[in-house]
Amino acid sequence: MKIRCVQGDITKVTADIIVNAANTSLLGGGGVDGAIHKAGGKTILEECIKIRNKQGGCKTGEAVITTGGLLPAKYVIHTVGSVWNGGSNNEEELLKNCYSNSLKLAKEHNAKSIAFPNISTGIYKFPKEKAALIAVNTIKENPIIDEVIFVCYDDENYGVYKKLLYMFVMI
């Protein structure tokens, strides 16, 4: 398994699957969610609405899949990160579930590569270093996809991931 981080816009990344930090409504929102729906076109939202009508949205920590619409990726996995609320409300376990459930779903769709944004570290206010540790550890515990790319948008996340992945290679 190869793990790396890049800085940039996840909608431009060529991977079999990109992951969206969605919300429970699956109807789109701000941040990376807004960027994915804007770049991916309306079919992604139409598929999200179908899923919502069938199962009533997506719970925190769970993941659903749509096609990639106009994006370079074949599929988009929509997972719902946990809102940081001090840390004693199961936030860490729920964020871990986002990564493990996304990996499982990606494997079921025969993905060889998957790109993750820094789930929960924007509007949901999860501490960035803590979130990155959970992300990298969960990937290490579930080495089922050949290539994992962390796409960091802001400088702080990119710095945190570079440091963490460097340590990971050393260990």
x-or-dash string of contact with ligand ADP, 133-162, rule CB under 6 A: ------------------x-xx--x-----
In the complex with ligand ADP, which residue's Cβ is closer, 8 or 143? Answer: 8
Residues 85-124 that bind ligand ADP (CB under 6 A): 117-124
CB 137 within 8 A of CB 94: no
Is 16 in the active site?
no
Residues 10-39 that bind ligand ADP (CB under 6 A): 10-11, 21, 31-33, 35
Region binding ligand ADP by CB under 6 A among candidate stretches 4-12, 40-48, 103-111, 140-148: 4-12
